[in-house]
Amino acid sequence: MTSAEHPRIVVIGSRVPGVDGAVLAPSDVVDLRFRPDRDAWTLTTPAGVTDYDLVVLAGTTAAIEVPALDPRVVPPGTVGPADAERAYLGMLVDGVPNLVLIDGAKLQLDTLDAWLRWMYTEAATRLLSRPPVTARWIHKGRRAPSRPDRDAIDLSNDHVRDEGVYAGEAVLRSGDFEAVSPVRLAGHLEPLDGNYHWYGTVDDLEIGAALKKMPRGSVTVSVGGGEASPAMVTDKTVWGTYRLVGVGAPPYPL
């Protein structure tokens, strides 16, 4: 999908008002697989094989096998309407790209419309929930926002994902405290001081909150058994995660 193209959508189940796409009955789906090399679902039906940018499950009890490409979550195996309780806004299941659950509520329809507009304007090819946002939304009683929140979802394309972002688990220590949390880290060489500056987030909300209370300068981060890098936990982000910053050799491979 390029910036000149709207996402190509297939709805499995009932037609969704305002969504321009193919509509198929679950019984017509022979096979459905996500292709991470092109951020597309390859759908096989008796009539042939077609690629779609987005799959919408609407008005069906069918569950489909799905991949999980986000290292912050455990692969769910299959996704269907029964998973709406653990999905952000009842729509996006953590770790599952380009698949939306819809129950027909106006808020969900308005939200999907906003997501599609953002995908188009940002030339995004992959839509994902943010696990910390989902956890916080569930913890706060699943209260829906008054309007769709751009910062609540993760939109990306190959260019953005290849900019040296490390997404995976890290060991975080401070004194006797030690924990493993999913993190997202990146950095750059700062020409003004000649140092490498790296930064990112601790995506486990409880671990991030515990580290924020530790003495300043006591936190270290290590990845894959490598050397620990000193870091600071500076603040809480709008998504409920905690920000890490460091100067010098980063914990992830360059």
What does the pLDDT look like over 30-42, one tens digit per residue? Answer: 999 888 888 899 9
| Residue with the larger pLDDT of the pair 14 and 158 | 14
Query: Is a pLDDT exceeding 80 seen at residue 158?
Result: no
CB 89 within 8 A of CB 44: no
pLDDT at 211: 93
What does the pLDDT look like over 238-247, one tens digit per residue? Answer: 667 888 999 9
| Residue with the larger pLDDT of the pair 62 and 206 | 206
CB atoms within 10 A of CB 147: 10
pLDDT at 4: 41
What does the pLDDT look like over 105-129, one tens digit per residue? Answer: 899 999 999 999 998 888 889 999 9
Domain extents in the chain:
9-160, 163-247
- State the chain's maximal CA–CA distance in angstroms: 63
What does the pLDDT look like over 132-148, one tens digit per residue? Answer: 888 888 988 998 888 88
Q: How far is CA 200 from CA 38, 99, 128, 182, 240, in A?
A: 26, 26, 18, 11, 13
Q: How far is CA 211 from CA 73, 113, 185, 194, 225, in A?
A: 21, 38, 16, 28, 20
pLDDT at 163: 58
pLDDT at 164: 65
| Residue with the larger pLDDT of the pair 26 and 18 | 26
pLDDT at 160: 55
Q: Where are the beta strands (DSSP E) in the chain?
A: 9-13, 22-24, 31-35, 40-45, 48-52, 54-58, 64-65, 78-79, 99-102, 126-129, 153-156, 166-174, 177-190, 195-202, 219-222, 229-236, 242-247
What does the pLDDT look like over 5-17, one tens digit per residue? Answer: 578 999 999 998 8
Pairing verdict, β 54-58 and 48-52: unpaired
Average pLDDT of the residues of the chain: 86
pLDDT at 69: 66
Any residues with CB less than 8 A from the CB of 111 and at least 6 apart, and which? 89, 91, 148
| Residue with the larger pLDDT of the pair 233 and 1 | 233
Q: Where are the alpha helices (DSSP H) in the chain?
A: 106-121, 131-139, 158-161, 205-212
The mean pLDDT value for 224-251 works out to 87
Query: Is a pLDDT exceeding 90 seen at residue 59?
Result: no
Stretch among 149-158, 172-181, 207-216 having the lowest mean pLDDT: 149-158
Query: Is a pLDDT exceeding 90 seen at residue 180?
Result: yes
pLDDT at 3: 38
Place 2 in a pLDDT band, splitting at 50, 70 and 90. very low
Q: What would the two tokens of residue 120 be?
A: 């188009």
The mean pLDDT value for 152-176 works out to 80
Can you say how many angstroms the Cα of residue 70 is from the centroid of all Cα atoms in its chain? 6
Q: Which CATH architecture has domain 163-247?
A: Beta Barrel (2.40)
pLDDT at 76: 75
CB atoms within 10 A of CB 158: 12
